[in-house]
A = this chain, B = another copy of it.
């Protein structure tokens, strides 16, 4: 993409009402713009990040055999009356009346709708296990939306629902979701810690939240530092195997890790030696639930089991905050100059800065690098504006692209360009093709 044709409305001043760093940086870098309270437009740069996060979420869901689909944003109130949640949900639910006077709502979650789909299509244990998920916009009418996309009202969420014939199978689905979530966050460069959680309006007795450490997080967390050493890395977990998934669950839940909601100070002191007792702030980026027959009983969702009995299906639901992750990743990865994107979710892999726009040599070298980067499968943002070096560098630093190639007349006379790593600040002089190859290797691997 050429910057001269891109819509990148950088703000020179820090917006006064943005209290946390991710909100400030997303506004300043032209990623988002507030449309109304707690509701944002994703400008082209932000939309790229959102798409890359969403793609990783999809890939990791599909990898473990979950079925993608898409439910609508608006739902009929009738289904929520069946489950009993229509009255329970409170003012966070946005209630709507259509032109015919029918009660509707903007879905804050989808247990009822998905249960309705499955109960009418699935009659036998042979059609289970089944996990369906979607990535769709939700609405929760927060009384005081703030922190940008971190606590907005309209937000993008992945929510998935497992249907199983019994508790044992549903617990495997729960553990499988934990594995896939851990891998999802790792791919985004995040260290997300599963912590035992309250279940709130979703219900059930078995739930974990995933928390990313950040000074500005809304939750206080208490944990054994050993959990920071855990990583799936390239480990090959057979997610069809309940033993393999249970082993990951055991390993990640053995060390003490709780939010203030479930924290037990006596237990913490008894279980964790003092030098490993950590407390911090953290951001919730996902949650998984097992709630058994909480919805299948009132909604009469049953299957015939192997013995010929019609039994209520066992269910769980599992959510990842897709739009919130854009903010959470920035909270976890920025410096005083701006965002520092992990390569996996960066809006562009690479920025190209032409130090002397209009000069025949730097122009043609920059154009060539831009074309070669595209041919190497890299998304490059080429700053082809007639602008001084200082503002060009400041923009690249602010928007946080992992790599920058600087094309200047002096260096170019020796056939070289500068390659700068955003995270480390290290700069090397290289031939243009070698610079592209190094970026390609770093972003796509050998």
Q: B-contacting residues of A (Cβ < 8 Å)?
A: 5-7, 9, 30, 33, 35-37, 39-44, 46-47, 50, 65, 67-76, 78, 91, 94, 96, 98-99, 102, 104, 106, 113, 116-117, 120-122, 130, 132, 134, 137, 139, 141, 143, 153-154
Contact = CB atoms under 8 A, between A and B. Distances in A.
Contact of A68 (B30, B44, B75, B141): B44
A70 B99 contact: no
Nearest to A90: B99
B33 A117 contact: yes
A282 B44 CA distance: 35
24 contacts: A5-B65, A7-B121, A7-B132, A9-B121, A9-B122, A30-B121, A35-B71, A35-B75, A35-B76, A35-B116, A36-B75, A37-B102, A40-B72, A41-B69, A41-B72, A41-B113, A44-B67, A44-B68, A44-B69, A47-B134, A72-B154, A73-B154, A74-B139, A74-B154
Contacts of A154: 72-74
A65 to B, nearest CB: 6
Contact of A70 (B50, B71, B72): B50
A69 B44 CA distance: 5
A67 B5 CA distance: 9
Given A74-B106, A117-B43, A143-B99, A67 B36 contact: no
Contact of A141 (B43, B46, B69, B98): B98
Contacts of A104: 36
Given A7-B121, A7-B132, 11 more contacts: A6-B67, A35-B76, A36-B104, A40-B72, A42-B71, A43-B117, A47-B70, A73-B137, A91-B99, A98-B141, A137-B137
Please tell me how many copies of the chain the complex holds. Answer: 2
Nearest to A1: B67
Q: Which 8 residue pairs across A and B have the least CB separation, nearest first?
A: A9-B121, A36-B76, A42-B70, A44-B67, A41-B71, A39-B72, A99-B141, A7-B67
Nearest to A96: B96
B94 A94 contact: no
A70 B94 contact: no
Main secondary structure of the interface of A (DSSP, over half): mixed
A94 B96 contact: yes
A154 B42 CA distance: 21
A12 B47 CA distance: 41
A273 B177 CA distance: 66
A37 B104 CA distance: 11
A35 B113 contact: yes
Contacts of A7: 67, 69, 121, 130, 132
A2 to B, nearest CB: 9
B69 A47 contact: yes
Contacts of A35: 71-72, 75-76, 113, 116
Contact of A47 (B9, B46, B68, B78): B68
B96 A70 contact: no
A141 to B, nearest CB: 5
Contacts of A72: 35, 39-41, 137, 154
Contacts of A73: 73, 137, 154
Contacts of A41: 69-72, 113, 117
Given A6-B67, A9-B121, A99-B91, A74 B39 contact: yes
Contacts of A106: 74, 96
A137 B102 CA distance: 20
B69 A42 contact: yes
Nearest to A91: B99
A292 to B, nearest CB: 21
A9 B36 CA distance: 40
A104 to B, nearest CB: 7
A317 B111 CA distance: 37
A104 B96 CA distance: 11
Most buried by B among A96, A120, A139: A96
A99 B132 CA distance: 32
Contacts of A65: 5
Nearest to A114: B41
Most buried by B among A37, A41, A113: A41
Contacts of A70: 41-42, 47, 50
